[in-house]
């Protein structure tokens, strides 16, 4: 069955970087794009962008251009989200997925 | 960017009754290829979003036929007949026609 398993929770300080992973199984990784969604505590869902898992080309929503990087380790059927120069407002749960399936989410807490 | 306006913000319901949620778009969601990429998600507390409906009215695998999506152009509705306890949570509409993709602000389905 299709599964997207994300890495564990992260606690970071402002200015640090974080890389979270999303390991796919149960399907051909390159058949579907991978989307990323942010959910701040108590807030709604916000689409961050997506990465073409065949070509590796990322597309970012405007609010996520600059400090956010989508990448792939295609041989490991894994998609990654890296956030640099973390800010307090990056505190959120980040989901990977799309095509009907989503990971369990990764809680990233940014606090000094 | 496309703005999706969901109403109501909260929908109190009696178990067994019908609930209806509206999603209005700031522009038509008909893609140049003729498809309308409007989806509905349910997010239960502490869980990732789960896809209910795609392309306006198609139920995702395993979704009960109590969930009915309808609409066209820029006006869409999700109806849930015979509401059950497991239907409670926050419902989001989502458009994948226009870049950037966007979510509605959510409708909380709660017990009256």
B38-54 average pLDDT score: 97
* Structure confidence at residue A10 (pLDDT): 98
| Alpha carbons B85 and B35: distance in angstroms, whole number | 33
Q: Which residues of B touch A47 (CB under 8 A)?
A: 94, 100-103
Model confidence over A23-41: pLDDT tens digits? 999 999 999 999 999 999 9
Phi first, then psi, for residue B76 (nearest 5°) are -135, 155
Model confidence over B79-96: pLDDT tens digits? 999 999 999 999 999 999
Question: Closest partner residue to B49 among A45, A59, A62, by Cβ?
Answer: A45
**B76 Cβ under 8 Å from any chain A Cβ:** no
Answer yes or no: is pLDDT of A56 > 90.
yes
Q: A95 vs B60: CB contact, 8 Å cut-off?
A: no
Q: How confident is the model at residue A68 (pLDDT cuts 50, 70, 90)?
A: very high
* Structure confidence at residue A101 (pLDDT): 94
Find the length of chain B: 112
Query: Do B41 and B92 touch, CB atoms closer than 8 A?
Result: yes
Model confidence over B14-29: pLDDT tens digits? 999 999 999 999 999 9
B22-47 average pLDDT score: 97
Selected for mutation to probe chain A from B10, B40, B45, B48 (highest A CB count within 10 Å) is B48
Q: Which residues of B touch A102 (CB under 8 A)?
A: 48-50
* Structure confidence at residue A74 (pLDDT): 83
* Structure confidence at residue B63 (pLDDT): 97
Selection from B19, B18, B21, B16 nearest residue B84 by Cα? B16
Selected for mutation to probe chain B from A47, A94, A96 (highest B CB count within 10 Å) is A47
Answer yes or no: is pLDDT of B112 > 90.
no
Answer yes or no: is pLDDT of A99 > 90.
no
């Amino acid at each position: 069955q299709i599964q997207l398993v994300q890495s564990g929770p992260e606690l970071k300080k402002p200015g640090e970087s974080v890389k979270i992973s999303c390991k796919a199984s149960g399907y051909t990784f390159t058949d579907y794009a991978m989307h990323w969604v942010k959910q701040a505590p108590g807030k709604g869902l916000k689409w961050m962008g997506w990465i073409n898992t065949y070509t590796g080309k990322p597309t970012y929503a405007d609010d996520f251009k600059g400090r956010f990087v989508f990448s792939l380790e295609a041989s490991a059927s894994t998609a990654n989200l890296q956030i640099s120069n973390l800010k307090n407002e990056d505190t959120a749960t980040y989901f990977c997925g799309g095509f009907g399936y989503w990971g369990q989410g990764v809680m990233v807490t940014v606090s000094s | 960017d496309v703005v999706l306006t969901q109403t109501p913000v909260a929908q109190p319901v009696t178990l067994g009754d019908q609930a209806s949620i509206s999603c209005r778009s700031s522009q038509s969601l008909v893609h140049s290829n003729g498809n309308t990429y409007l989806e509905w998600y349910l997010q239960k507390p502490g869980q990732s979003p789960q896809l209910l409906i795609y392309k306006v009215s198609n139920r995702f695998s395993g979704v009960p036929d109590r969930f009915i999506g309808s609409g066209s152009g820029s006006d869409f509705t999700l109806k849930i007949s015979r509401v059950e306890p497991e239907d409670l949570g926050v419902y989001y509409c989502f458009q994948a026609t226009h870049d950037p993709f966007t979510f509605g602000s959510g409708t909380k389905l709660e017990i009256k």
